[in-house]
Chains A and B, each alone.
Chain A
Amino acid sequence: EAGVTQFPSHSVIEKGQTVTLRCDPISGHDNLYWYRRVMGKEIKFLLHFVKESKQDESGMPNNRFLAERTGGTYSTLKVQPAELEDSGVYFCASSQEDFNEQFFGPGTRLTVL
């Protein structure tokens, strides 16, 4: 069974540009989460999808971040325009009905210059 995949693995952009991150969850997992780890800090929750619906987006930093999950399969996280403080590793995770075991992807390392 394939795990959670994320693309790209690394992205380096300049301040003000736009970046779109993609996450493909484990097949059949209705729950999809985005988390972010900024250098030296804890992994922080961004938002949670159940199928195509946003269940909880309380962790989204501001309106420069837009997450979608069309058709309840893969998800994208767009940052527009990117700021320096958006640099970090963005993790995606998915789970079945029981939320306690979340399967994480390898992350996308975003660097904003």
Chain B
Amino acid sequence: GQSLEQPSEVTAVEGAIVQINCTYQTSGFYGLSWYQQHDGGAPTFLSYNALDGLEETGRFSSFLSRSDSYGYLLLQELQMKDSASYFCAVLIYNQGGKLIFGQGTELSVKP
């Protein structure tokens, strides 16, 4: 089957750095994506890793190790507005791409 594991919740303070880990067991792996969701609204794309290594986009970075079936999202200089749910999702390519999601990590940023 397909499964992704990520922590259910993480708490951090403003200005801190937090890392959200994701391990996966899937077939047909094409890449690892991260999405942010505020208050149950539309998930918003944050990043995508198809190759091993670190991708940086502003305060957010994402890492992938294909050999370890592992990735993480790193959020720096945390702000209150970063409080949200964060989902890792494996992109499976089988006649078209589809996302297999983890259960989400609820990030709470405290003052």
Residue among B43, B87, B98 having the largest count of chain A Cβ atoms under 10 Å:
B98
Number of interface residues of B (CB under 8 A): 28
Whether the pair A55, B42 counts as a contact (CB closer than 8 A) is: no
Chain A residues with CB below 8 A from B33, complex form: 100-101
Give the residue of B31, B43, B100 whose beta carbon is less than 8 angstroms from that of A91.
B43
A-B interface contact total, Cβ < 8 Å:
70
Q: Which of A67-75, A79-87, A104-112 contacts B (4 or more CB under 8 A)?
A: A104-112
CA distance A44 to B41 in the complex (A): 15
CB distance from A36 to the nearest CB of B (A): 11
Interface check B63, CB cutoff 8 A: no
Chain B residues with CB below 8 A from A99, complex form: 30, 91, 93, 96-98
CA distance A11 to B72 in the complex (A): 36
CA distance A50 to B93 in the complex (A): 14
Interface of B is mostly: strand
With A56-B96, A99-B93, A99-B97: A104-B103 Cβ-Cβ less than 8 Å: no
Chain B residues with CB below 8 A from A91, complex form: 42-43
Chain B residues with CB below 8 A from A104, complex form: 35, 42-44
CB distance from A24 to the nearest CB of B (A): 13
Interface check A4, CB cutoff 8 A: yes
Chain A, Cβ-Cβ closest to B2: A45
With A100-B31, A103-B45, A104-B44: A45-B95 Cβ-Cβ less than 8 Å: no
A-to-B contact residues, CB < 8 Å: 3-4, 31, 33, 35, 41-45, 48, 50, 55-56, 59, 89, 91, 95, 99-107
B-to-A contact residues, CB < 8 Å: 4, 30-31, 33, 35, 40-45, 48, 50, 87, 89, 91, 93-104
Q: List 5 A-B contacts (CB under 8 A).
A: A43-B89, A48-B97, A48-B98, A106-B41, A107-B40
